[in-house]
Amino acid sequence: MVIRRIRIAETGVRFSLGPPTMLKLFGINIADLSLVETLARLNELRLSGGQHLVVTANPEILLEARRHPEYRQVIAGASLVLADGVGVILASYLMGQPIIKGRVTGVDLVEAIVKDSGKQRYSVFLAGSTEDILNKTTQYFSSKYSNINIVGRYSGLKIKKYETGVSDGETNDLIKKINEVKPDVLLLAFGHPKQELWLVDHLKQLSVKIGMGVGGTFDYLSGSTPRAPRWLRIIGLEWLFRLINEPLRFSRIVDATIVFPAYVLLGIIKKLFHMEQ
C-alpha cells in the first residue's frame, strides 16, 4: 500500500455533551457513545464549521491501521471514531477501558443519519456501490421514512486500489456531482482503506461538512446481502452468519475473530511485562 503522509488538523470543537470516554487501541482513540449520542455529536460537528472525517472502526479497520502506520494516522486524525463490532467491545473490557454504551455499527448509524436528515434539515449524498444497490437503498429509506433528504447518488466510480494523490476523470466527475448539490453528509461505500484515504485526500475539494466511509452498508440496507438476525448480532455471532452466507469473506472473518484478538492479547501482555517502549 502506498499512502502519502497526511495530517488532519484538530478542529478545536467543544461539545455540549462533554468529552466521551475513550478506549485507546493501536494508537487510536475510540469514543464510548450510544447511537443517540453519536447523532447528537454528528449534528454538533456539522454545525461547528470545518470538515470532519467520521470512522466506524471494526476489527478489520483497526488491524489495517495497525499494519500500516500511515493509514493509522488517517484514522487517528478523524474527528470521531466509533466502536463497530463486538470484537472492539470485548477488547475494551480486556484492556480495562470498557466501552459500556455498546457498539455503533455502520449500518445502524447510516440508517439513523438518513432518518434524521429531514427532521434536522441536513442533506445526504450516497456514493459508491452499484446503481442498482443505491436505487434499492434509496427505495428502502423512502418506503420506511416519510421525511428524508437524500440529495444525490453516484455509483460510477470503481476503485480497485487507491493511492492518495492519484486522481482521474471519474474522481473529478464525482467531485463535480457532489459539489453541485453541496450535501452536508457524504456516505462513501468504497470499502476500507480506500474510502478513508479517498475522503482525506479530497475532502478539501468537496462542499461537504462530514465524510464517512460506510463499506458494505448499502448492500445490507438494499437487501442485496442478508444481515444477521438481531439476536445473533447481540450475542456476537454475526461473523458466523456472514461466513455461512458469504464464504468468500473467510480471510476477513479470520482477521476479525482470530488475528485481531491475538494482537489485543499481545498488547496486554506487553503492557503487563513492560515490554513496550
C-alpha cell at 30: 475510540
pLDDT of res. 228: 72
Residue 2's pLDDT is 38
Strands 22-25 and 52-57: unpaired
Please report the pLDDT score of residue 13 as a whole number: 34
Averaged pLDDT for residues 83-109: 88
Listed residue (10, 24, 22) closest to 267, CA to CA: 24
pLDDT attached to residue 226? 74
pLDDT tens, residue by residue, 256-268 = 778 888 888 888 8
Entry field: residues in the chain: 277
Pick 257 or 89 by higher pLDDT.
Answer: 89
Q: Average pLDDT, whole number, for the chain?
A: 85
| HEC readout, the chain | CCCCCCCCCCCCCCCCCCCCCEEEECCEEEECCCHHHHHHHHHHHHHHCCCEEEEEECHHHHHHHHHCHHHHHHHHCCCEEEECCHHHHHHHHHCCCCCCCCCCCHHHHHHHHHHHHHHHCCCEEEEECCHHHHHHHHHHHHHHCCCCCEEEEECCCCCCCCCCCCCCHHHHHHHHHHHHHCCCEEEEECCCCHHHHHHHHHHHHCCCCEEEECCCHHHHHCCCCCCCCHHHHHCCCHHHHHHHHCHHHHHHHHHHHHHHHHHHHHHHHHHHCCCCC
Place of cell 464517512: 212
pLDDT at 71: 94
222-247 pLDDT tens trace: 998 877 777 677 767 776 667 677 77
